[in-house]
C-alpha cells in the first residue's frame, strides 16, 4: 500500500523527535527565563463542574465582543451630524438622520456580512450579561466569595457593573428611536440627583439634551475606556484565580489544602478551546437566524418621536421595571424637589450594588467566619444564605418582568393598570415568600442530612 | 498502525473534496436559482413582494396601465361593488372616502380581506380585484395622494402612530386596561379607514392631522409593517428587547448543556489518586475518533460555505449559518478530543495556603512571608517617613496636582441653562413639524397636532400636543389660555422626558409610552396614573388677527422632568 504523503507529513509535524521539543523549550527558556514556570503551570489543576463554565462563557463573550466590535468600528461613524439616507433600505430612503444611524444602516444592508457581525455583537452582549449574572449567583450560593476570594468577588462585581454600563452605551450608539429614548431617560435620571443633578447631566451629556456631542463621547467610552477597564480588571480577576486556584466542590480527597482536577495541558486546554468555539458557534448561529435590534424598523431618533414597547436590553430591565412601578414620589424639602425618578433609577442600583459589594464581609461577620476556604458549600449547607439569594433573584425577576408590563398587557390583552398593581404587590411580597419557602425546605433537608451524618 | 493510516487518509481526502465541491456548488446553484445576489436582504422578500408594487410610487404608476384601467372592467366593477358605500366618486357615504387609496395594493388588500364593517369580496376573481383596485387607485383617489412615499409615511408613523401601535406596528398598552391593536392583524387600508373614522380611543387623523397625501403615505408604511423587512432572520415577534432577552437566556441554557456534557464525569469527580501523583486510568476508554473527524469536516464545510456565500453576497442566514457550523464543528471536535480522546488524567495539587504564622521553615527561619514582606516595606518606607516635612509636602503636592486636572472637566459641557426656558416667545406662531402655520380652522374634527414654535421645528423642549377640546373648561387662572377650545400641553413627560405620544380620544388622556404616566386632559393634564408627579405644563395660546394660533408667551413653569431647584 503506498504511503500517503499528506498523512506522512502531518504525522511528522506532530510526532517530532524529542530533541525538537527540547530545542523549542530551550529557546523559550533562553528568551524568557520562564521555562520552569511554564513547566509547572502546564499541569495547573482545574476542578471540573458544569457550573464553573459561566465564567468561561462570559470570558469568551468578551473575546467575541472585542473581535466583532473592532470590525464594526471600521464602519461606524460616531457623529450626530445630519445626513439624508440614500442607501438600499427603501422605507427610509430620503429620511433625515444622523451620520451614526446612517452608518449602522449601511453596515446592516450594504456591507457584506455586516448585519451578521452586528447581530453577533448584540447577542454576545446579552449572553455576556446573562452569564455574568449566573456566575455571580453561582458564587453566592456556593460561598465562593469567602476568604481568600473576597477581593476577587469585588473585582468580579466591578466587571459586572462595567459590562452593564457598557451595554447601555452600546444600546445608545446606533442613534435609533430606542437609543435616543434611553439616553433621554438617562439624562432625566442624572438630572434627578439632588444638588448636582442638572449640572452633572449637562457636564456628562455636553449641554442640555439632546446634544450633538454625545455620540462621539459615548463612542470613546464604549470602545476604549470601558473595554480597557474591563480588560484590566479581567486580567486581575484571572490572575487571582490562577494564583489562588479554582475552588472545588466537596469530594473524596478534596479539602481546603488539596485540589483535585484536570491538568491544563492537554485535556483542559483542548476542552476550553473547544468551548470557546462552541460559544462562538452558538452566538454566530443566533446572529444569523435571530434578528436582534432591527434599528431600521425603529427609525432614527427624533426627540418628538416615541414608541410603545420601549424597553432597554434585559440587564437594565430590572431598573426599567422599578421606574415603572415606583409611584409618583416627588418629595419637597424646604423649597427643593427630590424627583420620584431618583428612588428607583439612582438610589436602588446604588443600594443593590452596595449590598452585593459588601456581601462577603457581611456574611463573614454574620457567620463569624474569617477562615480561608477552598472547598465550596452547596446551597443546602446554608439555608439562610440560600433563602436570601432566592429572595434577591425573585426581586430582580419581578422587577424585570414589570419592565415589560406593557408588552405583556398588549400581547395577552391584560389590563395594564391591573398588571402594574399585581406586579407592585409581587415585587414587595414574593421575595419574602420565596425566601421563607426556600429556607423551610432547605432547613429541613439540611437537618435530615445532618441527622444522617451524625450518629 | 501505519499501514492503516493511508486508507483512512484517502477516505478523509475524498470526504474533504466532496464537502468542498458541495460548498462551492451549492451557493452557486442557489444564486443561479434566482436568489438575490445583492447584499440587500433576501429575507425581506416576502415583505418586498407584498409591497413591491407600492414601495415606490414611481414604479407603481409607470407599471400601471392607467388609460386601460379607466375604460376597462375596473369602472364597471367599481360601480357594481364599491360605489354603493363609497359613493360614485369614492367621496364616501356609509364607507369612508377613498381619496387616499392611491395604491392598488392597499385597495386589493382591503377588498380581499375586508375590515371594520366592509365585507371581504370573495366572489371577485383575482383579476377583477386587480382591475377594481387599479381603477380606485388611478381614477378615484386624489392625484396628490399618488405622490406619497413610504419613507414620508414612516416619519409620520413614528411621530403620530408608534406611540400607541409601536414602531414595528405591534400594538401597545393604553390606560384603564385598553390596548392598541397590532396593525399586522388588519389590511393596511384599514389604517386609512381608522384614520378617517376614528376608532374608539383612536382620534380622527384624516384631514385633521394628515392631508390626503400623508394619509396615503402612512398607509403605505403600515403595509410594509404587515411583514416587517427582516434580513436578520426570525423577528421574534417584533416586540424588541423583551423577547430578545428571553432568547439570550435560551442561548445561555444551550451553552450550559454544552458545559454539562464537557464536565460530565471529569476531573476525578469519582476518582481517587494519591496526592502529588498523576493517575492514568488503567483502561483508557476506547472512545472512537470518528465524531471528532465529523466535527472537523463540518468545520471545513462551514468555513468554505461561509466564504462562498460571502463572495456571492448572500443573506445573513446563509453567511451566519455556515460560519456557525464552522465554529461549532471545530469546537465540538476539540472539546471531544479533550474530553474523550485524551487519557483521563486526574491531577492533585496543593492550594497556596499560607502556613501558620508561628511555623518555622526546615532551616529554622520563619516562613511567615507577609511578616517578612511587611518588614521590608517598613524599611523602604523609612526613606520617606524620616523626612516628615518633605513627606507632608509630597502628599500635598501630589494631591494639588491631581485635583488640578479636574479643571479639564469644565470643557465637557456648559452649565445647564436651558431647563427653565424653551423656544416659545410671545406671539410665536404654532407650526407643524413641516413648518406649516396652524390656523383656527385646524382640528375641526378633533384629533391632535404636534406643534412647534415657528422657526424652531427642531426644538425638542418646545414640542406641544395641540388639541381642540370641546366642552372642557380651562383651569382657574388659565381662562384665556385656550382660545376657541385649543389647548396646547408640553409633550415632554414630567417623569423621565419621553415624548408623551399617546392620545386617547374617548378617555381624554395623554399617555407616555415609556413608563405609562397618564395625564387627564379634563383636569389640566394632571397625572392620574403612573410614576409622573407633576402635570404637563400648558402653553398659553392666542389667535392672531390673521387667524393663526400663537403662543402668548413661554411656559409658566419648567417643562420636562424634575430637578432639585425646579421651584427655586
| CATH number of the domain enclosing A112 | 1.20.810.10
- Give contacts of A 184-243 with B, CB under 8 A: 184-185, 187-189, 191-195, 197-199, 201-211, 213, 243
For A244, the closest chain B residue by CA position comes to B352
Cell numbers given for A76: 461606524
Judged by a CB distance cut-off of 8 A, whether residue B61 touches chain A is no
Judged by a CB distance cut-off of 8 A, whether residue A39 touches chain B is no
In a domain, A116, yes or no: yes
pLDDT at B366 over 70: no
Mark whether A81 and A229 lie in a shared domain: yes
For B224, the closest chain A residue by CA position comes to A91
Mark whether A337 and A196 lie in a shared domain: yes
Nearest to B232 among A292, A299, A310 (CB): A292
Q: How is chain B split into domains, by residue range?
A: 15-41+231-237+248-264+288-347, 48-226, 430-551
pLDDT digits (tens, 9 = 90+) for B240-297: 999 999 999 999 999 999 999 998 877 544 344 444 444 444 555 578 999 999 999 9
Helix (H) or strand (E) holding B467: strand B464-468
Which residues of chain B neighbour A281 with C-beta distances below 8 Å? 324-329, 331
Mark whether A88 and A136 lie in a shared domain: yes
Minimal CA–CA distance to A449: which of A379, A387, A393?
A379
Contact in structure between A270 and B238 (CB atoms under 8 Å): no
Taking CB atoms and an 8 Å limit, are B248 and A332 in contact across chains? no
Judged by a CB distance cut-off of 8 A, whether residue B259 touches chain A is yes
pLDDT digits (tens, 9 = 90+) for B212-236: 999 999 999 999 999 999 999 999 9
In a domain, A151, yes or no: yes
Does the structure's ipTM exceed the value 0.85?
yes
| Residue B343 banded pLDDT, cuts 50, 70, 90 | confident
- Give contacts of B 437-456 with A, CB under 8 A: 450
In this prediction, the residues of chain A whose per-residue pLDDT falls under 50 are: 1-2, 455
> Shortest Cα distance from A452 to chain B (angstroms)?
21
Mean pLDDT on B199-223: 94
Collapsing DSSP to helix, strand or coil, B550 comes out as strand
In a domain, A361, yes or no: no
Cell numbers given for B552: 402668548
| Residue B45 banded pLDDT, cuts 50, 70, 90 | very low
What pLDDT is recorded for position B177?
A: 84
Mark whether A236 and A171 lie in a shared domain: yes
Q: Quote the mean pLDDT of chain B.
A: 85
> Range with the lowest mean pLDDT among A403-407, B30-34, B393-397?
B30-34
Which residues of chain A neighbour B292 with C-beta distances below 8 Å? none
Which distant-in-sequence residues (6+ apart) come within 8 Å of B184 by Cβ? Answer: B169, B170, B225, B226, B227
**Number of domains making up chain A:** 3
| Domain span holding position A394 | 378-455
> Shortest Cα distance from B238 to chain A (angstroms)?
9
Cell numbers given for B29: 446553484
Distance between CA A54 and CA A52 in Å, rounded?
6
Taking CB atoms and an 8 Å limit, are A274 and B335 in contact across chains? yes
Most B CBs within 10 Å, among A137, A198, A275, A307, to test the B interface: A307
* CB neighbour class for A347 (10 Å; exposed up to 12, middle 13-18, buried from 19): middle
Mark whether A7 and A96 lie in a shared domain: no
| Residue B567 banded pLDDT, cuts 50, 70, 90 | confident
Taking CB atoms and an 8 Å limit, are B240 and A178 in contact across chains? yes
| pTM of the full structure | 0.90
Distance between CA A240 and CA A257 in Å, rounded?
17
In a domain, A367, yes or no: no
* Residues composing chain B: 568
What pLDDT is recorded for position B358?
A: 55
C-alpha dihedral sign at B210, B214, B220, B222: negative
> Range with the lowest mean pLDDT among A224-233, B17-26, B546-555?
B17-26
SS3 of chain A: CCCCHHHHHHHHHHCCCHHHHHHHHHHHHHHHCCHHHHHHHCCCEECCCHHHHHHHHHHHHHHHHHHHHHHHHCCCCCCCCEEECCCCCHHHCCCEEEHHHHHHHHHHHCCCCHHHHHHHHHHHHHHHHHHHHHHHHHHHHHCCCCCCCHHHHHHHHHHHHHHHHHHHHHHHCCCEHHHHHHHHHHHHHHHCCCCCHHHHHHHHHCCCCCCCCHHHHHHHHHHHHHHHHHHHHHHHHHHHHHHHCCCECCCCCCCCCEEEEEEHHHHHHHHHHHHHHHHHHHHHHHHHHECCCCHHHHCECCCCCCCCCCCCCHHHHHHHHHHHHCCCCCEEECCEEECCCHHHHHHHHHHHHHHHHHHHHHHHHHHCCCCCCCECCCHHHCHHHHHHHHHHHHHHHHHHHHCCHHHHHHHHCCCHHHHHHHHHHHHHHHHHHHHHHHHHHHHHHHHHHHHHHCC
In a domain, A372, yes or no: no
C-alpha dihedral sign at B45, B51, B57, B62: positive
For chains A and B, count residue pairs whose Cβ atoms are closer than 8 Å: 542
In a domain, A318, yes or no: no
Taking CB atoms and an 8 Å limit, are B527 and A120 in contact across chains? no
Question: Does domain B48-226 sit in CATH 1.10.760.10?
Answer: yes
Mark whether A277 and A399 lie in a shared domain: no
- Class of the CATH domain delimited by B430-551: mainly beta
Cell numbers given for B223: 403595509
Amino acid at each position: 500500500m503506498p504511503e500517503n504523503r499528506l498523512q506522512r507529513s502531518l504525522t511528522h509535524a506532530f510526532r517530532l523527535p524529542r530533541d525538537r521539543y527540547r530545542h523549542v523549550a530551550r529557546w523559550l527558556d533562553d528568551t524568557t527565563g520562564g521555562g520552569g514556570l511554564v513547566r509547572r503551570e502546564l499541569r495547573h489543576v482545574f476542578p471540573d463542574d458544569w457550573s464553573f463554565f459561566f465564567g468561561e462563557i462570559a470570558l469568551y463573550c468578551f473575546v467575541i465582543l472585542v473581535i466583532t466590535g473592532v470590525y464594526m468600528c471600521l464602519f461606524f461613524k460616531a457623529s450626530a451630524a445630519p445626513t439624508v439616507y440614500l442607501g438600499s433600505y427603501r422605507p427610509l430612503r430620503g429620511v433625515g438622520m444622523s451620520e451614526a444611524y446612517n452608518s449602522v444602516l449601511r453596515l446592516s444592508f450594504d456591507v457584506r456580512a455586516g448585519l451578521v457581525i452586528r447581530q453577533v455583537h448584540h447577542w454576545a452582549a446579552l449572553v455576556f450579561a446573562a452569564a455574568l449574572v449566573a456566575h455571580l449567583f453561582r458564587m453566592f450560593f456556593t460561598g465562593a466569595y469567602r476568604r481568600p476570594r473576597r477581593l476577587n468577588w469585588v473585582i468580579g462585581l466591578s466587571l459586572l457593573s462595567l459590562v452593564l454600563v457598557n451595554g447601555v452605551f452600546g444600546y445608545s450608539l446606533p442613534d435609533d428611536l430606542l437609543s435616543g429614548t434611553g439616553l433621554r431617560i438617562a439624562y432625566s435620571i442624572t438630572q434627578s440627583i439632588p444638588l448636582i443633578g442638572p449640572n452633572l447631566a449637562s457636564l456628562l451629556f455636553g449641554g442640555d439634551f439632546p446634544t450633538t456631542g454625545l455620540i462621539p463621547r459615548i463612542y470613546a467610552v464604549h470602545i476604549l475606556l470601558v473595554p480597557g477597564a474591563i480588560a484590566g480588571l479581567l486580567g486581575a480577576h484571572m490572575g487571582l484565580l490562577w494564583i489562588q486556584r479554582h475552588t472545588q466542590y466537596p469530594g473524596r480527597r478534596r479539602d481546603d489544602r488539596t485540589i483535585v482536577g484536570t491538568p491544563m495541558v492537554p485535556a483542559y486546554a483542548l476542552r476550553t478551546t473547544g468551548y470557546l468555539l462552541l460559544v462562538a458557534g452558538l452566538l454566530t448561529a443566533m446572529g444569523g437566524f435571530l434578528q436582534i435590534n432591527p434599528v431600521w424598523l425603529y427609525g432614527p431618533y427624533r426627540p418628538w418621536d416615541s414608541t410603545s414597547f420601549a424597553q432597554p436590553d434585559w440587564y437594565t430591565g430590572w431598573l426599567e421595571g422599578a421606574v415603572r412601578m415606583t409611584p409618583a414620589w416627588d418629595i419637597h424639602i424646604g423649597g427643593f424637589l427630590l424627583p420620584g425618578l431618583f428612588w428607583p433609577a439612582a438610589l436602588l442600583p446604588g443600594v443593590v450594588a452596595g449590598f452585593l459589594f459588601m456581601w462577603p464581609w457581611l456574611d463573614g461577620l454574620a457567620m463569624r467566619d474569617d477562615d480561608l476556604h477552598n472547598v465550596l458549600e452547596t446551597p443546602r449547607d446554608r439555608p439562610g444564605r440560600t433563602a436570601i439569594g432566592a429572595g434577591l433573584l425573585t426581586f430582580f425577576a419581578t422587577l424585570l418582568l414589570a419592565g415589560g408590563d406593557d408588552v405583556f398587557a398588549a400581547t395577552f390583552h391584560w389590563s395594564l393598570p391591573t398588571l402594574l398593581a399585581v406586579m407592585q404587590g409581587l415585587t414587595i411580597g414574593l421575595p419574602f415568600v420565596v425566601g421563607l419557602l426556600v429556607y423551610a425546605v432547605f432547613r429541613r433537608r439540611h437537618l435530615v442530612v445532618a441527622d444522617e451524618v451524625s450518629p | 498502525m501505519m499501514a492503516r493510516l493511508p486508507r483512512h487518509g484517502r477516505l478523509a481526502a475524498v470526504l474533504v473534496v466532496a464537502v468542498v465541491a458541495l460548498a462551492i456548488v451549492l451557493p452557486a446553484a442557489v444564486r443561479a436559482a434566482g436568489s438575490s445576489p445583492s447584499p440587500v436582504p433576501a429575507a425581506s422578500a416576502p415583505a418586498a413582494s407584498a409591497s413591491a408594487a407600492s414601495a415606490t410610487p414611481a414604479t407603481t404608476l409607470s407599471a400601471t396601465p392607467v388609460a386601460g384601467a379607466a375604460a376597462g372592467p375596473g369602472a364597471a366593477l367599481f360601480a357594481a361593488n364599491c360605489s354603493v358605500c363609497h359613493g360614485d366618486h369614492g367621496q364616501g357615504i356609509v364607507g369612508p372616502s377613498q381619496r387616499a387609496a392611491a395604491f392598488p395594493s392597499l385597495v386589493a388588500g382591503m377588498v380581499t380581506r375586508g375590515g371594520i364593517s366592509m365585507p371581504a369580496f370573495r366572489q371577485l376573481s383575482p383579476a377583477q380585484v386587480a382591475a377594481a383596485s387599479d381603477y380606485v387607485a388611478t381614477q378615484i383617489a386624489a392625484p396628490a395622494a399618488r405622490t406619497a412615499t413610504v419613507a414620508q409615511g414612516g416619519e409620520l408613523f413614528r411621530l403620530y402612530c408608534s406611540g400607541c401601535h409601536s414602531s414595528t406596528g405591534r400594538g401597545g398598552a393604553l390606560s384603564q386596561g385598553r390596548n392598541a391593536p397590532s396593525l399586522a392583524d388588519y389590511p393596511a387600508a384599514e389604517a386609512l379607514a381608522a384614520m378617517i373614522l376614528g376608532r374608539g380611543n383612536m382620534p380622527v387623523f384624516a384631514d385633521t392631522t394628515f392631508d390626503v397625501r400623508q394619509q396615503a403615505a402612512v398607509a403605505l408604511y403600515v403595509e410594509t409593517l404587515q411583514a416587517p423587512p427582516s434580513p436578520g432572520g426570525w423577528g421574534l415577534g417584533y416586540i424588541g428587547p423583551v423577547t430578545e432577552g428571553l432568547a439570550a437566556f435560551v442561548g445561555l441554557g444551550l451553552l450550559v448543556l454544552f458545559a454539562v456534557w464537557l464536565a460530565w464525569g471529569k476531573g476525578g469527580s469519582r476518582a481517587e489518586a494519591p496526592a502529588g501523583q498523576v493517575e492514568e486510568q488503567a483502561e483508557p476508554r476506547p472512545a472512537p475518533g470518528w465524531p471528532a473527524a465529523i466535527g472537523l469536516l463540518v468545520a471545513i464545510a462551514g468555513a468554505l460555505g461561509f466564504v462562498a456565500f460571502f463572495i456571492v453576497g448572500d443573506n445573513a442566514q446563509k453567511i451566519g449559518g455556515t460560519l456557525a457550523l464552522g465554529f461549532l464543528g471545530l469546537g465540538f471536535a476539540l472539546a471531544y478530543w479533550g474530553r474523550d480522546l485524551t487519557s483521563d488524567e486526574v491531577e492533585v495539587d496543593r492550594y497556596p495556603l499560607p502556613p501558620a504564622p508561628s511555623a518555622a521553615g526546615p532551616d529554622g527561619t520563619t516562613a511567615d512571608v507577609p511578616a517578612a514582606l511587611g518588614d521590608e516595606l517598613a524599611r523602604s518606607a523609612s526613606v520617606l517617613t524620616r523626612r516628615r516635612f518633605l513627606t507632608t509636602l509630597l502628599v500635598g503636592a501630589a494631591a494639588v496636582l491631581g485635583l488640578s486636572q479636574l479643571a479639564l472637566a469644565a470643557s465637557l459641557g456648559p452649565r445647564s441653562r436651558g431647563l427653565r426656558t424653551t423656544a416659545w416667545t410671545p406671539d410665536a406662531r404654532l407650526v407643524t413639524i413641516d413648518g406649516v402655520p396652524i390656523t383656527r380652522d385646524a382640528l375641526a374634527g378633533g384629533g391632535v397636532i404636534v406643534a412647534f414654535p415657528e422657526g424652531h421645528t427642531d426644538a425638542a423642549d418646545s414640542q406641544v400636543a395641540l388639541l381642540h377640546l370641546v366642552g372642557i373648561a380651562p383651569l382657574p387662572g388659565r381662562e384665556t389660555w385656550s382660545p376657541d377650545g385649543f389647548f396646547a400641553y408640553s409633550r415632554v413627560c414630567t417623569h423621565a422626558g419621553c415624548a408623551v405620544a399617546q392620545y386617547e380620544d374617548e378617555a381624554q388622556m395623554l399617555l407616555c409610552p415609556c413608563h405609562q404616566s397618564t395625564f387627564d386632559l379634563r383636569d389640566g393634564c394632571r397625572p392620574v396614573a403612573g410614576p409622573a408627579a407633576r402635570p404637563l405644563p400648558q402653553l398659553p395660546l392666542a389667535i392672531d388677527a390673521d387667524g393663526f394660533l400663537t403662543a402668548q408667551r413661554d411656559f409658566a413653569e419648567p417643562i420636562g422632568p424634575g430637578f432639585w431647584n425646579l421651584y427655586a
